């Protein structure tokens, strides 16, 4: 590693910016006193305060990775219509605040025309895909999150600008199976097909004990390769978690020839109804196919079509599948159910169907 | 032993003669009058009641040519209580559904009285008729007498156990297959496995006619076989109307509609509407409205595997192996025999000693097990697919049995291509 | 061990008795053709066949352990009223079959008067307790199942003869934590408080490898004690499963001074509603107190009272608790919730409450 | 690099200029016109698109006196693409709820343009403002510029991470506590832990104003803090009547009543009746009938612990540590600070390197953890009590941390009293 040039600065623990300075005046006035909201149309929500004040919130889809000029473009619009205030959502959408109904449409037009951002992402549609660094910045990715998301959102554009699905659909896309993108109704993730390959030449001896220690199943042990101290992986123990790769770049878990993408479904954070739930493997083996990953787009659309046709109102993806059963899920989507779908990890037994509750 | 001594000899046990529930102590004290061993049994128990220590030591006693079915006990107090120095239990296979003629029962009584202590337990938790209290000699006499009358001996050790089933078609309208007949057919077909310890460990079947599982099969047997149906629940509209009129709509919503696990039953315009494709055949609506609703007509069984209790790995319940199959014709029975055979073969070859089939499945993995016994993976075997990405793809690693990979992974220790680097 | 005397017999694989010979004539006629049933009163169920035949089934509570004379007494009644046919249920109750309504009451009277058996055990009441061998026959028990059940059924007698609980209540009682009695709405079980003590003097060397092999957590290892080959238990690994004790009597897991009884609740086999479920620890530390185990009776009655007061119709014990939540369960019963109630075994994480779903 | 070359240089990436969704490629190509590093970034990505190989190597770069917050990257193609040979990301703490004035945003743009590549990501998955593309020198310039304007740097490594929270009281009527304020208070109070790696591994807070958890806290943070209430759901009868009239009773039953996880909401005589003691505050009925129903007035938070994603042990979610506490007054805040302090102390002392707090809890056991941090066991922390009898009672074994018993068991190897035996 190259030596790192440093400039001495005094430690300052300044803390978080003061959000209070960034609140729209109507928010300051009605802070914690909002009464209800109403959907005006996809992307536009009317918020009514106890005292009667009304604030329209307009949501626009953003690619998250923005040039400073694009951000300045956003600011221009907010200055014009929003008294200079705006926010981003937890899914990287931009939200504009309007206190006069007659400003809504002009704002919507400028967002579309000047920024090229679609209006939508609210209610029972597909909102923005949360995603990760991919080949733009991370050291671990097996695919490019940014490009795959762009290609996928092109396919799902009409679901972003409409609210015509049974419930909200949250999608995440991550560039390695660590999955910084998190649980979601639909998650696209890289899938490794074998244990790490070891680049014995690059192995940094200093990190050996750390790498051995990090393996959760004690699959790594010291070995002499050629005349060098190195490591080896006990194949039958390793379960491809990739923790060693994060610790040591020479434990290469990625493989451009064999890595594929997987589709996961039914993750949920909300405590609604059955509560939060983990996402489950729906489909593995999708080719990692830049620049537009057409197979991923096709699979997600197949999935959404089945969901739209068969789910009931207020049924999130996982709840829909719980009701119809996984067999019908695989029938409806045409995805194959394989032995690899059956859990083999430490809580595997808790996934067995220990009842006669089966469907035709 | 005199009347006098017996009375004063068991003051603690005597407390159990009190109270409204029928007392085994009172019953056995009477029996002790003609069976001295029973008196000494009570004396030994009395001592246990005093010390909270048990005085039986177990060992193995085989009926020659049968390999099992006798639970042999020696008393640690045998010097003081010679009549119970040896005090074994014979497990006798019960008739399907615990159905009896009085003649048959009397036969058992006579054998028990003649060759054993005269104590019967009807029935053991596995389902057997338990005949308690024979010694090393009389055990064989009792066994011989039983067999001469056509009875047969149950299982113990690494063998098939006596089967048990619910009353089924004999009087229950819920029954979706012939539990009594299948129980007998399975017993007879596999009778050799019941008598000879050829399996890694015990194996139990229990059969219930419907998902109410009155035989407790799912948690207390290695292979639960449970009746079910695949077509629509039958609805008797008149009886529905009666039920709704009698109980009111709110009652129906709160006790039937909202209790459906998949929310697939509705009360629409006072009529019951069921989305049968979503129904998981849980029986609840049928149980509550049992005159109005009934299981469908396309009937068969769901077959599960792996139920047992706590020892070693904590409780396990049976889990689905065959989501649905009919079980009526001779061919159906053959398919079942064949499946059991394949399971025993694979588990038999790869199971460890004392490893129940559920433990085995857990150790080698369900997918590997399915491959081993030749069953196709079906999503109904699991609650849901895996939540973790740790898949062992076979192109590289091969399926694993007992921790050993079949195929050496070709990529291990492969060197990376050197990359351009600063 | 004493030598075992054997008599040579020819192997005969006779198979199961022919149940067909033991069916009541109305069962033969209407086999598989029953239409519906009706409750006449606790213990008496009327069964109507498709063709119109009617069979009354009368259920009586039995202590399961019976002298041959008691069994003959049962036969006498069946001969008189039931054409010589009867059955036992999966919970050791006796069932008498009557094909004439006018025979029901006389039969009921004879069962009560001559056998001393109560009529009941049907519907939403407490049916017979299933139980195990205890000090009467097993080599492993820490308590006496027979006596404890007798004492407990005395307490619950009125719940057996009535149907006044929210749903069926199934109880089991087992004499060691292997629990041959199985899952139940309420289960009473022996609880060990420490790892096995080893009787090095009695240790049978021949069985050592078997004992070592059986321990699921590899807690047993060979050791030399004095000059003898023996075993030792690695205390921090052992989780008191008792498997070694079953294999080798010198691995003594029982302890009359410290063993207590525990109450477990919410086990269920039926696939109804949420499906089968495991029972959970409700209360530990009840004294193992022969001859009448009054503390067990009191605790079970406390539990049943809370259940009766607060459960809804058709709610089995576990379902009731699921609805009201475990906090209210412990509040209502007054049982203490302790750290020992929190799972520490291999699926412990799956028992954590990973949601905000909590109640006051 | 000429216009010409750039265009032909990224044919694969150019495919991502097509389609209706805003294209980061188009945006960055424009930026590349004034920022050559961005052009080379796109070139490197183009090569990754061709080979499906990544060309970034990670290392650690600390802003002096801060200990973290910079994700340093060296390009494996640095010789060919010197502008991205070093291409680091600075994590900047965002304002609570991602609220901005345009002035503030413009400040960030200026700093990014001047000292970095001019690429911002709004926002990173943890919540930070990500400023991409500074090198070993300009990273410090950018950092200094940010701090002069009052911004602060986020966390990395074994440190606290930048907090994130939902919009909460700023515009959402569901909010049960002041997510924005508590986020700021926690950040400021623990700012030193954010800058210096003093913990076994990363620690994230996320705060949501109600159980809808719009901040995804439960699965993506070590300590989810989620608003809730303990009194009754407020019901506006007129709005209920309107809703029922508009949608019909069957709609209400099928979409509200049957969806309640504890079946505690009823439609009785067209009115909504809630058994609040059974309500688990799941929000469903409130979400659907949001004008008619609202969270109660006795408000506070549920605090959970242990959420993270897949690495090493598979995903974990946060689990309940404090079922309910108010979070309004200064004393409430102090109680929260204190709790966090106790958790970090116990985990800090006993956790292993790279061990998230959820992994730690799982390793030592929840009960032991509670004892270690001084919390009383509460049944609401678990779905249900244990299903196995394998309890380690402390009289004999002592609580365990990291596999070591505190107390030597006094009964081990104790000899049995010799028993009478035959
Ligand atoms: C703006 C935002 C909060 C923020 O601070 O940024 C937000 C705002 C609202 N959410 Fe949310 N949610 C936001 C992310 C989330 C997330 C997290 C996420 O998407 O990553 C979740 C959890 C997702 C999950 O379960 O995995 C989330 C789960 C909900 C739910 C629960 C849905 C359910 O039934 O499970 C509701 C209730 C509802 O839909 O009626 C909800 C409802 C709402 C309401 C209607 C609340 C209100 O009364 O104002 C807000 C308008 C939503 C809309 O889009 O129609 N919000 N909401 C987030 C917008 C993200 C976006 O740009 O799309
Ligand atoms: C007699 C009986 C209890 C009763 O009073 O009814 C019984 C008694 C014994 N059981 Fe059991 N079990 C009996 C039904 C059960 C059941 C219930 C069932 O079969 O439906 C179970 C739970 C289900 C299961 O199979 O797991 C059961 C689970 C066990 C276990 C635990 C197995 C496990 O893996 O968890 C053992 C110990 C073992 O197998 O190592 C065991 C072992 C024993 C032994 C053989 C003790 C031993 O290892 O030496 C006991 C002999 C007692 C005796 O002196 O007769 N018994 N045992 C039942 C058999 C009578 C019959 O044949 O009808
Ligand atoms: C006779 C017996 C079968 C046998 O072959 O012996 C039997 C017979 C009937 N059971 Fe059962 N059950 C019998 C043991 C069981 C068991 C097993 C057990 O008790 O150990 C279960 C599973 C228990 C569990 O889940 O742990 C069982 C779960 C049910 C259920 C499901 C209850 C539920 O809602 O979860 C029903 C349905 C109902 O209650 O409406 C049921 C219903 C019935 C019905 C009403 C079926 C019918 O339509 O005829 C029968 C009369 C029951 C009554 O007592 O009112 N039976 N039933 C068993 C009587 C045992 C006894 O003497 O008390
Ligand atoms: C940048 C970001 C993705 C993004 O594009 O938004 C990201 C990027 C990285 N994550 Fe992450 N994680 C990011 C949010 C997350 C999240 C989501 C969250 O915080 O809400 C998660 C899941 C929740 C969690 O904490 O587990 C997440 C789980 C991980 C993990 C897995 C941790 C685990 O125990 O499972 C690692 C690997 C590790 O910690 O060893 C990791 C490691 C990394 C590293 C540092 C790779 C590494 O180990 O060297 C990545 C640096 C990329 C880069 O070049 O900047 N990142 N990471 C997010 C941080 C930006 C920000 O500060 O706002
Ligand atoms: S998902 Fe993996 S590759 Fe992608 S940013 Fe996170 S750690 Fe890096
Ligand atoms: S991938 Fe995971 S399991 Fe395999 S060697 Fe690396 S750290 Fe261990
Ligand atoms: S399991 Fe079903 S068929 Fe058998 S007795 Fe019970 S209710 Fe009847
Ligand atoms: S049987 Fe069960 S799942 Fe099927 S409709 Fe009835 S209640 Fe619902
Ligand atoms: S529960 Fe234990 S002690 Fe009782 S009979 Fe079964 S194995 Fe024996
Ligand atoms: S009690 Fe169980 S865990 Fe403990 S030593 Fe014996 S077999 Fe092993
Ligand atoms: S979590 Fe609750 S309070 Fe926060 S934005 Fe979502 S709905 Fe509103
Ligand atoms: S908030 Fe959820 S649990 Fe409470 S009443 Fe409404 S739907 Fe039921």
The secondary structure of D170-233 as a DSSP string is GT-TT--S-HHHHHHHHHHHTHHHHHS--SSS-B-EEEESSTT-TT-HHHH-SEEEEEEESSPP
Question: Residue C101: exposed, middle, or buried by beta-carbon count in 10 A (0-12, 13-18, 19+)?
Answer: exposed
Q: Which two tokens stand for residue D143?
A: 């950092």
Under an 8 A CB cutoff, do D419 and B388 touch? no
What is the C-alpha to C-alpha distance for residues C212 and C119, in angstroms, rounded to an integer?
50
State how far the Cα of B99 lies from the Cα of C39, in Å rounded to an integer.
22
Tell me which of A204 and B61 has the higher pLDDT: B61
Residue B165 near ligand 8, beta carbon < 6 Å: no
Q: Please tell me the predicted confidence (pLDDT) of residue C210.
A: 85
Residue D5: is its pLDDT beyond 90? Answer: no
- CA C145 to ligand 2: nearest atom: 5
- Tell me, what's the pLDDT at D387? 97
Residue D364: pLDDT over 60:
yes
Contact B30 C182 (CB under 8 A): no
What tokens does A297 get?
């787009």
In this structure, what DSSP letter does residue C2 have? P
**CATH code 3.30.70.3340 for C19-115:** yes
Q: How far is the CA of D167 from the centre of ligand 11 (A)?
A: 7
Q: B116-175 pLDDT, tens per residue?
A: 999 999 999 999 999 999 999 999 999 999 999 999 999 999 999 999 999 999 999 999
Closest among D206, D210, D217 to D175, alpha carbons compared:
D210
Q: Assess whether the C-beta atom of C270 lies below 6 angstroms from ligand 3.
A: yes
Element of type H or E holding C228: strand C228-233
Q: What is the mean pLDDT of chain D?
A: 91
3-state percent helix, strand, coil for chain D, nearest multiple of 5: 40, 20, 40
| pLDDT beyond 80 at D273 | yes
Partner-chain contact B57 D254, CB within 8 Å: no
Residue B211, SS3 per DSSP: coil
Residue C141 CA from chain centroid, whole number = 14
Report the SS3 class of residue C248. coil
Q: How far is the CA of C13 from the centre of ligand 5 (A)?
A: 65
Best of B268, B285, B310, B422 to substitute, by most chain D Cβ atoms within 10 angstroms, is: B422
Two structure tokens written together for C100: 């004439």
Closest CA to B320 of B407, B196, B228, B401: B228
Q: Which of A319, A64, A312 is nearest to A172 (CA)?
A: A64
pLDDT reading at D419 higher than 90: no
pLDDT of D413 strictly over 70? no
pLDDT category at B61 given cuts 50, 70, 90 is confident
Q: C125 to chain D, minimum CA–CA distance in Å?
A: 24
Residue A282, classed as helix, strand or coil, is strand
Work out the pLDDT band at B409, boundaries 50, 70, 90: very low
Q: Is the pLDDT of residue B418 over 50?
A: no
Q: State the average pLDDT over residues C27-45.
A: 97
Chains contacting B (3 or more CB pairs within 8 Å): A, C, D
pLDDT for D410 equals 32
pLDDT band of residue B420 (cuts 50, 70, 90) is very low
Q: Per-residue confidence at C15, pLDDT binned at 50, 70, 90?
A: very high
In sequence order, the 6+-apart residues with CB closer than 8 A to the CB of A16 are D93, D94, D95, D96, D152, D163, D183, D184, D187, D188
Domains with residue ranges and CATH for chain B:
3-148 (3.30.70.2500), 164-230+298-381 (3.30.413.10), 234-294 (3.30.70.20)
Q: In which residue ranges of chain A is pLDDT below 70?
A: 1-11, 203-207
Across residues C244-267, what is the average pLDDT? 93
- Alpha carbon of D301 to those of B103, D274, D343: distances in Å? 70, 22, 18
Residues facing residue B101 across a β-bridge: C85
For range C234-239, the mean pLDDT:
88
Q: Is D162 helix (H, G, I), strand (E, B) or coil?
A: coil
A205 vs C38: which has the higher pLDDT: C38
d(CA B241, CA D299): 46
State the pLDDT confidence band at B422, using cuts at 50, 70 and 90: very low
Which site among A269, A354, A359 would you substitute to test the C interface, given the most C Cβ atoms closer than 10 Å to its Cβ? Answer: A354
DSSP category for residue B233: P
Q: ipTM greater than 0.90, yes or no?
A: yes
> What's the gap in Å between D279 CA and the centre of ligand 12?
5
Q: Which CATH code for domain A130-193+256-351?
A: 3.30.413.10
Yes or no, beta carbons of D266 and B257 under 8 Å apart: no
B200: left (phi over 0), alpha (psi -120 to 50) or beta: alpha
Whether the CB-CB separation of C323 and C177 falls below 8 Å is answered with no
Q: Which fold has domain C197-239?
A: Alpha-Beta Plaits (3.30.70)
Contact (Cβ atoms closer than 8 angstroms) between residue D120 and residue D112: yes
Find residue B400's DSSP bridge partners: B405
Contacts of D230 (CB under 8 A, 6+ apart): C360, D296, D298, D299, D300, D324
Torsion of the alpha carbons at C182, C183, C185 and C190, rounded to the nearest 10: 60
Find where tokens 């509200």 sit: D256
C355 vs A: CB within 8 A: yes
Residue D4's pLDDT band (cuts 50, 70, 90): very low
Token readout for A289 is 């196919």
Higher pLDDT, A55 or B60: A55
3-state per-residue secondary structure call for D56-93: EEEEECCCCCCCCCEEEEEECCCCCCHHHCECEEEEEC
CA neighbor of D225 nearest in space, from D178, D188, D161, D173: D178
DSSP conformational letter for C239: -
DSSP β-bridge partners for residue D203: D160
Contact across the interface for B164 and C267, Cβ inside 8 Å = no
Mutate to test the pocket of ligand 1, among A89, A118, A132 (most ligand atoms within 8 A of CB): A89
Residue C177 Cβ < 6 Å to ligand 3 = no
Residue C236 Cα to ligand 10 midpoint, Å, equals 11
Assess contact for A352 and D297: CB atoms under 8 A: no
d(CA B363, CA B265): 39
Counting beta carbons within 10 angstroms of the beta carbon of residue B122, is it exposed (0 to 12), middle (13 to 18) or buried (19 or more)?
Answer: buried
Q: Nearest residue on chain D to A287, judged by CA atoms?
A: D52
Return residues 362-391 of D near B (CB < 8 Å). 387-390
Mean pLDDT, chain B, integer = 91
Any residues with CB less than 8 A from the CB of C181 and at least 6 apart, and which?
B125, C130, C131, C132, C145, C172, C173, C174, C187, C189
Q: Does A275 touch chain C (CB under 8 A)?
A: yes
Q: What is the Å distance from ligand 3's center to C278 Cα?
A: 18
Q: Any idea where the domains of chain A sit in the sequence?
A: 19-115, 130-193+256-351, 197-239
On the question of pLDDT at B346 being above 70, the answer is yes
Distance CA B98, CA B94 (A): 6
Give the residue, out of D209, D220, D281, with the most ligand 11 atoms within 8 A of its beta carbon, to mutate for a pocket test. Answer: D209
Average pLDDT over residues D362-369: 94
Interchain CB contacts (distance < 8 Å): A and D:
372
Mean pLDDT computed over B316-335: 98
Equal fold, A19-115 vs A130-193+256-351: no
pLDDT digits (tens, 9 = 90+) for C294-342: 999 999 999 999 999 999 999 999 999 999 999 999 999 999 999 999 9
């Amino acid at each position: 590693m190259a030596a790192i040039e440093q400039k001495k600065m005094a430690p300052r623990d300044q803390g978080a910016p003061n959000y209070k300075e960034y609140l729209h005046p109507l928010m300051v006035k009605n802070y914690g006193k909002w009464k209800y909201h109403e959907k005006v149309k996809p992307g536009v929500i009317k918020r009514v305060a106890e005292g009667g004040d009304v604030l329209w919130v307009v949501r626009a889809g953003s690619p998250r990775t923005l040039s400073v000029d694009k951000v300045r473009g956003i600011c221009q619009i907010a200055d014009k219509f929003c008294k200079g205030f705006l926010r981003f959502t937890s899914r990287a959408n931009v939200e504009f605040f309007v206190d006069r109904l007659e400003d809504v449409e002009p704002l919507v037009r400028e967002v579309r025309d000047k920024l090229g951002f679609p209006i939508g992402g609210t209610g029972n549609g597909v909102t923005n895909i949360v995603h990760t660094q991919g080949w733009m910045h991370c050291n671990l990715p097996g695919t490019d999150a940014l490009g795959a998301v762009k290609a996928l959102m092109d396919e799902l554009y009409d679901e972003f600008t409409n609210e015509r699905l049974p419930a909200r659909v949250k999608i995440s896309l991550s560039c390695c199976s660590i999955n910084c993108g998190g649980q979601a109704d639909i998650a696209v993730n890289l899938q490794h097909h074998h244990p790490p390959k070891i680049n014995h030449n690059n192995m940094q001896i200093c990190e050996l004990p750390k790498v051995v220690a990090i393996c959760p199943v004690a699959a790594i042990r010291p070995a002499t390769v050629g005349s060098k101290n190195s490591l080896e992986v006990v194949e039958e123990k390793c379960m491809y978690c990739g923790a060693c790769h994060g610790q040591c770049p020479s434990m290469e878990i990625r493989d451009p020839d064999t890595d594929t993408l997987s589709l996961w479904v039914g993750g949920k954070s909300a405590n609604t109804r059955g509560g939060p739930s983990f996402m489950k493997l729906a489909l593995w083996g999708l080719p990692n196919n830049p620049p537009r990953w057409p197979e991923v787009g096709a699979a997600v659309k197949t999935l959404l079509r089945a969901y739209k046709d068969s789910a009931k109102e207020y049924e999130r993806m996982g709840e829909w599948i719980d009701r119809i059963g996984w067999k019908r899920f695989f029938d409806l989507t045409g995805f194959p159910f394989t032995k690899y779908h059956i859990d083999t990890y430490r809580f595997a037994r808790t996934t067995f169907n220990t009842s006669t509750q089966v469907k035709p | 032993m005199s009347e006098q001594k017996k009375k004063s000899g068991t003051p603690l046990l005597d407390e159990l003669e009190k109270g409204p529930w029928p007392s085994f102590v009172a019953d056995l004290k009477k029996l002790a009058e003609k069976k001295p061993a029973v008196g000494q049994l009570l004396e030994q128990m009395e001592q246990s009641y005093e010390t909270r220590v048990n005085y039986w030591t177990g060992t193995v006693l085989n009926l020659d040519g049968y390999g099992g079915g006798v639970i042999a006990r020696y008393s640690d107090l045998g010097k003081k209580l010679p009549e119970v120095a040896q005090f074994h239990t014979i497990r006798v296979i019960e008739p399907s559904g615990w159905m009896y003629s009085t003649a048959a029962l009397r036969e058992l009584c006579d054998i028990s009285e003649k060759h054993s202590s005269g104590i019967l337990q009807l029935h053991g938790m596995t389902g057997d008729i338990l005949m308690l209290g024979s010694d090393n000699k009389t055990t064989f006499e009792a066994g011989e007498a039983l067999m001469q009358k056509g009875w047969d001996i149950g299982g113990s050790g690494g063998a098939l156990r006596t089967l048990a089933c619910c009353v089924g078609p004999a009087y229950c309208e819920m029954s979706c297959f012939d539990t009594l007949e299948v129980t007998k057919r399975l017993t007879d077909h596999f009778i050799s496995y019941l008598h000879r310890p050829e399996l890694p460990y015990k194996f139990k079947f229990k059969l219930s006619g419907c998902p109410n599982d009155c035989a407790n099969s799912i948690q207390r047997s290695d292979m639960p076989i449970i009746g079910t149906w695949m077509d629509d629940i039958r609805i008797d509209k008149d009886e529905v109307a009666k039920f709704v009129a009698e109980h009111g709509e709110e009652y129906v919503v709160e006790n039937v509609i909202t209790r459906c696990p998949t929310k697939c039953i509705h009360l629409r315009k006072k009529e019951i509407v069921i989305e049968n494709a979503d129904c998981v055949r849980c029986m609840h609506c049928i149980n509550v409205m049992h005159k109005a609703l009934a299981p469908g007509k396309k009937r068969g069984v769901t077959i599960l595997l792996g139920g047992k209790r706590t020892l070693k790995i904590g409780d396990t319940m049976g889990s689905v192996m065959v989501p649905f199959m009919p079980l009526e014709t001779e061919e159906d029975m053959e398919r079942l025999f064949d499946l059991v055979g394949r399971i025993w073969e694979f588990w038999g070859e790869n199971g460890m000693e004392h490893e129940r089939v559920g433990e085995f499945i857990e150790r080698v993995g369900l997918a590997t097990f399915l491959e081993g016994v030749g069953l196709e993976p079906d999503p109904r075997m699991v609650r849901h697919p895996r939540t973790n990405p740790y898949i062992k793809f076979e192109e590289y690693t091969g399926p694993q049995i007992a921790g050993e990979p079949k195929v050496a992974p070709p990529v291990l220790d492969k060197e990376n291509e050197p990359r351009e680097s600063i």
